[in-house]
Amino acid sequence: MTRPVIALAMLCGVAAWGQDSASISQKAGAGDGSLHFGRQPGFSSVIAGAPYSAEMVAENVQTLADGTHITRTMEPIKVYRDSYGRTRQERHSQGADLRVAADKRASGQPLFIEITDPVAHIRYILDPQTKVAHRQKLAEVVHPLTAKRGRAPGSERAPHKGNGIKAETEKLEPQIIEGVLAEGTRRTFTWPEGSVGNDRTMTSVTETWRSPELQVRLLIKTSDPRLGEHTDRLINLNRSEPDPSLFVPPPDYTVVDEKGEFTVKWR
């Protein structure tokens, strides 16, 4: 896996786990400096009465056979949620194009902004470069814990339990993370010798810490001998009500209704 691909995977992962109420459907362009958005995104149930703002960060540390450590850290994603359950995400880097990400950091301008309004059933993708607000209607509400198909946003993907792979789940003692009570679980997967071509037993461990009050994941830590140590974390948590203007397009933006897929160019 090349470095840009790893960085993109980290970005998509952190976008999903931190805000259970948001739905992200974008995919990277084929090196053309763009983001492609799908048609009529869905969203999970409304989480009202639990406002906050924070930053989502992701870091991956890979250790090579000679002991060399390779650390990759994604640019933080700013996240907001108001008392109505509306959410906002500001991204300053994409990962698949490191030069564009550096340019955006230098200018202080977000690459793009996503506003999800589950009350009005609308999502906006704001392009600060062109001052265009791409507006889409949201699909009907599907609660991630009761959906018959698919995974809850932010849930870690479990390996296929064939070839004798063992999985164990245990609850951890609650702890305080970023000033709020967090409930934790630890999932351990064990691959016996020869199950995937391995000449010895392999084990991966994932800890997930979630705030029942805010209904967001605060911390996910994964240790996997194939991929290294990966951490997704919510930092700088603020429980106050965000500014209402953050959840609507600015008055100087042009609103464009999108009925199908659309593309946002980086430059």
Rounded to 5°, the CA angle 31-2-126 comes to: 40
DSSP assignment letter at 244? G
Distance CA 146, CA 48 (A): 18
Please tell me the total number of residues recorded for the chain in this structure: 267
CB–CB of 266/97 below 8 Å? yes
Distance CA 129, CA 254 (A): 12
Q: What confidence score (pLDDT) does residue 226 get?
A: 86
Distance CA 256, CA 122 (A): 12
pTM of the model: 0.75
How much of the chain is in helix, strand and coil states, percent to nearest 5?
Answer: 10, 45, 45
Spell out, as residue ranges, where the chain has pLDDT lower than 50.
1-26, 28-30, 95-102, 104-106, 142-157
Q: What confidence score (pLDDT) does residue 159 get?
A: 54
Q: What confidence score (pLDDT) does residue 100 get?
A: 44
Q: What confidence score (pLDDT) does residue 194 get?
A: 82
Other Cβ atoms less than 10 A from the Cβ of 34: the count is 16
Q: What confidence score (pLDDT) does residue 20 get?
A: 45
Going from the C-alpha of 127 to that of each of 25, 99, 172, 267, the distances in angstroms are 16, 18, 42, 11
Can you say whether the dihedral through the CA atoms of 189, 235, 15, 149 is positive or negative?
Answer: positive
Terminal Cα-to-Cα distance of the chain (whole angstroms): 26
